[in-house]
Amino acid sequence: MLKKKDKYVVAVVGATGAVGNEMVSILEERNFPVERLRLFASERSEGKTMEFHDKPVEIEILSENVFKGIDIALFSAGAERSIHFAPLAAKAGCVVIDNSSAWRMDPEVPLVVPEVNPHDLKWHKGIIANPNCSTIQMVVALSPIHDAAKIKRIVVTTFQSVSGTGRKAMDELLNQTSALLNFKDIKPSVYPHQIAFNCLPHIDKFLDNGYTKEEMKMVNETQKIMGDKSIRITATTVRVPVFRSHSESVNIETEKKLSANEVRAILSDAPGVVVFDAPEKNIYPFPADAACKDDVYVGRIREDESIENGINMWIVADNLRKGAALNAVQIAEKLIEMT
């Protein structure tokens, strides 16, 4: 368990990745009470440094014996490393907030979005899971509606940026775009098909039921975070040629009838949500709006005229910030607040 202190020794595991970089930036931006920051990555980054509050911090090689004396560790180094290193860190007395898929559905590990289920932090045993990026932004918007009218069913289609795959994917989109505009051939490597000027209805591996792992993450994680397995959910996840920020078209069916104006009012008071909804003036959220921002933006709110209690909406957020790094830091802040 985390002990109350004025300042904490904080580690970022996977510091050189896109999310790890964002974690370091957000710790600085939010003036997180850091006594000492330790950065860990693979051997490729040995000897390199990163800036934190205008001072260089040397990147260390991740190993099994580095966690003694660390209070909080933000992990963003992939599921395989998390499975191996997170229990070792927890055993050393460190609280791990893990951004990978490794622990999300473990019944012994809370899966937390601070605006939705901060109470679940009370039963952590040293490891806390950070949800999938597309799940986070959806539940931030849907949880207050569920509280008001009980959501029975969710149909979601995502439009996810390439930064969700990582730096290599961002480079691939840039290189393919440049090549195609110069009438050159391309050879996809990160994705199975061309991503520039294209949309791929395929994120993560396909499962036996025809869904992808990403789609089933949204189903299972949403039910766990919102604490309601009765919510029926179906998802289609699509990779689009956008560098940063995920968008989602979401349709919900509720038990209690809500008008579009009632939904706007609920979301206007919801923490972490910005209602950006005046389509008659061409005002609605899009990825460029949300990039490098902390909030979840919601627009195109309208009643679904095909069913009695239906609402459609469009949800956009920065997948590297609220969808990953920011949510992890907010979990750490909430832990400190509750200690």
Instruction: Say what the pLDDT of residue 318 is.
Output: 98
pLDDT of residue 163: 96
Q: Give the number of other CB atoms < 10 A from CB of residue 184.
A: 10
Residue 327: name the closest of 192, 208, 225 by CA.
Answer: 225
> Do residues 127 and 90 make contact, with C-beta atoms less than 8 angstroms apart?
yes
CATH 3.40.50.720 placement within the chain = 8-131+324-338
Q: Which residue has the tokens 């490729």?
A: 44
CATH 3.30.360.10 in the chain: give the residue spans: 135-319
Residue-level pLDDT at 46 = 82
Question: Is 292 one of the catalytic residues?
Answer: no
Q: Of 133, 193, 202, 292, which residue is the catalytic one?
A: 133
- Residue 9 burial by CB count (10 A; 0-12/13-18/19+): exposed, middle or buried? middle
pTM of the model: 0.95
Does 246 qualify as catalytic in the annotation? yes
Local mean pLDDT, 10-residue blocks, the chain (339 residues): 92 95 97 97 89 96 95 96 97 97 97 98 98 98 98 98 95 98 97 98 98 98 98 98 98 98 98 96 96 97 98 98 98 96
Alpha-carbon distance of 266 to 21, in angstroms, equals 34
- CATH topology (fold) of 8-131+324-338: Rossmann fold (3.40.50)
Whole-number Å distance between alpha carbons of 215 and 158: 9
pLDDT at 43: 86
Name the CATH topology of 135-319. Dihydrodipicolinate Reductase; domain 2 (3.30.360)
pLDDT at 67: 97
Confidence at residue 101, expressed as pLDDT on a 0 to 100 scale: 96
Name the catalytic one among 94, 124, 146, 246. 246
